[in-house]
């Protein structure tokens, strides 16, 4: 899967779980400020990503993940 | 004043989500119309009227009913200018977020523990409805949930009224909500043989054979009477008193002869400072189960003699919405007073020959002067009773 296809898939998960318009899902977007997503919603998003990408993300790996870009990097590092 | 020196409690707003109607007018019209056919779900409930998509996904259906009814009640009450620290929320439910629990157990079994929603706990907890209401309106006084099965809605209103009577609160949003019609809930009630096998709710009828399970929610805004009148609020009714007792007898069957129900009604009248002669109408629990209706009828006959005050059970139309039922019926009492009409008991065609009650059938009947009693009884042996009256009743010359 190339990077663009992976981000499209990531984006559709984020739109579905966070209920925000697709254009707000940018690499720079911050979960708390830009997307109004609290920690439980980030967990829910990660669960959706695990399912969509067939990966496993440990809770400890989410420490410091504050932006879409950081979360995307975490996902792609496991592909 | 019915009870000298005690702060009085006005009902200034009501809201309801029921299978026979959403909103006060549709609901009351529904109560006076034939019972819905088929499952007593609130088929036309659209959460988007009260929640955005994300909020709705995080809120179990019982919480959605809680918030929707509370919002309608507060809108109805108008400008409740209350100190948030003196504004409370007391809500009831029987089982909380059963649909969410069932869905997530399926996820657990099919996909494993890592896929269970992080929102499961705040969605299924029984207090989710009360919590959501306090957060939505910023009311920061006592915020609690009553869980007494089918008596929860009635107990919630009684407890809320006490918060105002005692001086702790100036306004309280109270009520109850239930959405337990997930497969697991239907199977459980069915297997305990509580549900009607004929599929018809017939309170007090000789052919009654169980209740029709329903869902819904209802809310009332209670305010200290003088403050309500000062702000020019419309006052539907006054909560004069309430009582709560336990049968201490059996987990599902009522105490023989309705002794627990009788004790509760007596205490409620005493709390309200009225006598049996003051009671014009009883909004009965009247579930349409053989045991409940017989015990309730026996209790009513012992308390009032026969035929006693005019009785109705709206469960002929609404079915039994468990922890929401008492709140829905309290809203019905407020609307009964407002409109001067008692809705009939749908489904009742032939009064059980063992009962000697004056039950409204067919068409609504005019409400005579006097106070209203609203009963609820729950599995576990919980009894609740409210005394609700037109605002003029307790102010009239006969009281001191």
400 residues of chain B, pLDDT tens digit each: 457 789 999 999 999 999 999 999 999 999 999 998 889 999 999 999 999 999 999 999 999 999 999 999 999 999 998 999 999 999 999 999 999 999 999 999 999 999 999 999 999 999 999 999 999 999 999 999 999 999 999 999 999 999 999 999 999 999 999 999 999 999 999 999 999 999 999 999 999 999 999 999 999 999 999 999 999 999 999 999 999 999 999 999 999 999 999 999 999 999 999 999 999 999 999 999 999 999 999 999 999 999 999 999 999 999 999 999 999 999 999 999 999 999 999 999 999 999 999 999 999 999 999 999 999 999 999 999 999 999 988 766 344 4
* Closest Cβ–Cβ partner in B53, B111, B119 for A40: B119
Tens digits of residue pLDDT in A5-36: 999 999 999 999 999 999 999 999 999 999 99
Q: Residue B348: inside a domain, yes or no? A: yes
Burial status of residue A56 (CB atoms within 10 A of its CB: 0-12, 13-18, 19 or more)? exposed
Indicate if ipTM > 0.95: no
* B279 bridge partner residues: B371
Q: Residue B235: inside a domain, yes or no? A: yes
Tell me whether residues A47 and B115 touch, CB distance under 8 A: yes
Question: Choosing from A2, A8, A34, A38, which is the catalytic residue?
Answer: A38
Tell me whether residues B118 and A19 touch, CB distance under 8 A: no
Tell me whether residues A44 and B118 touch, CB distance under 8 A: yes
Structural domains present in chain A: 3-76 (1.10.1200.10)
- Residue identified by tokens 């108008």 is B78
Please enumerate residues of A whose Cβ is less than 8 A from a Cβ of B: 18-19, 40, 43-44, 47, 50-51, 56
Task: CATH number of the domain at B173, please.
Answer: 3.40.47.10
Domain range enclosing B319: 9-389
Determine whether B150 is an active site residue. yes
Measured in angstroms, the CA of B91 and the nearest CA of chain A are apart by 26
Q: Residue B78: inside a domain, yes or no? A: yes
- Contact status, residue B319 vs residue B40, Cβ threshold 8 Å: yes
Selection from A64, A60, A62, A67 nearest residue A25 by Cα:
A67
Q: Residue B335: inside a domain, yes or no? A: yes
Residue of B nearest to A43 (CA): B118
Q: Please tell me whether the overall predicted TM-score, pTM, comes out greater than 0.80 for this model.
A: yes
Q: Residue B385: inside a domain, yes or no? A: yes
Q: Residue B35: inside a domain, yes or no? A: yes
Mutate to test the interface with B, among A19, A35, A36, A38 (most CBs of B within 10 A): A19
At B234 the three-state DSSP class reads coil
Determine whether B320 is an active site residue. yes
Contact residues for B72 (Cβ-Cβ < 8 A; gap 6+): B14, B15, B16, B17, B23, B24, B219
Residue of B nearest to A49 (CA): B115
Q: Residue B2: inside a domain, yes or no? A: no
């Amino acid at each position: 899967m190339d990077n663009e296809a992976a981000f499209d898939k990531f984006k559709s998960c984020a739109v579905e779980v966070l209920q925000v318009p697709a254009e707000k899902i940018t690499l720079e977007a911050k979960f708390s400020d830009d997307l109004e997503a609290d920690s439980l919603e980030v967990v829910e998003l990660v669960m959706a990503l695990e399912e969509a990408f067939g990966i496993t993300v440990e809770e400890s790996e989410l420490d410091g993940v504050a932006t879409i870009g950081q979360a995307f990097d975490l996902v792609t590092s496991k592909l | 004043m019915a009870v000298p020196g005690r702060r009085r409690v006005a009902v200034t707003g009501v809201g309801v989500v029921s299978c026979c109607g959403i909103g006060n007018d549709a609901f009351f019209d529904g109560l006076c119309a034939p019972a819905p056919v088929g499952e007593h779900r609130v088929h036309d409930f659209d959460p988007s009227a009260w929640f955005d998509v994300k909020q709705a996904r995080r809120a179990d259906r019982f919480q959605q009913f809680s918030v929707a009814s509370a919002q309608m009640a507060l809108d109805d009450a108008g400008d409740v200018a209350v100190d948030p620290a003196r504004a409370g929320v007391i809500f009831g439910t029987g089982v909380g977020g059963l649909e969410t629990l069932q869905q997530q157990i399926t996820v657990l079994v099919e996909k494993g523990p890592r896929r269970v929603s992080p929102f499961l706990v705040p969605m299924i907890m029984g207090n989710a409805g009360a919590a959501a209401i306090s957060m939505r309106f910023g009311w920061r006084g006592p915020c609690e949930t009553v869980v007494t099965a089918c008596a929860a809605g009635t107990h919630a209103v009684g407890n809320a009224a006490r918060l105002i009577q005692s001086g702790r609160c100036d306004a309280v949003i109270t009520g109850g909500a239930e959405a337990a019609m997930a497969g697991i809930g239907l199977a459980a009630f069915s297997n305990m043989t509580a549900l009607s096998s004929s599929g018809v709710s017939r309170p007090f009828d000789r052919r009654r054979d169980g209740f029709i399970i329903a869902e819904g929610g209802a809310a009332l805004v209670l305010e200290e009477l003088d403050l309500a009148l000062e702000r020019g609020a419309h006052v539907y009714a006054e909560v004069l008193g309430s009582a709560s007792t336990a049968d201490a007898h059996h987990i599902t069957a009522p105490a023989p002869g309705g002794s627990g129900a009788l004790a509760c009604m007596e205490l409620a009248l005493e709390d309200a400072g009225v006598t049996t002669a003051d009671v014009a109408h009883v909004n009965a629990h009247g579930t349409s189960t053989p045991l409940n209706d017989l015990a309730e009828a026996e209790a009513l006959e012992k308390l009032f003699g026969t035929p006693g005050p005019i009785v109705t059970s709206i469960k002929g139309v609404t079915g039994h919405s468990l922890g929401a039922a008492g709140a829905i019926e309290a809203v019905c009492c407020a609307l009964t007073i407002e409109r001067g009409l008692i809705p009939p008991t749908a489904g009742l065609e032939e009064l059980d020959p063992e009962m000697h009650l004056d039950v409204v059938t067919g068409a609504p009947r005019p409400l005579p002067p006097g106070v209203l009693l609203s009963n609820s009884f729950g599995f576990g042996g919980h009894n609740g009773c409210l005394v609700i009256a037109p605002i003029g009743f307790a102010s009239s010359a006969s009281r001191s």
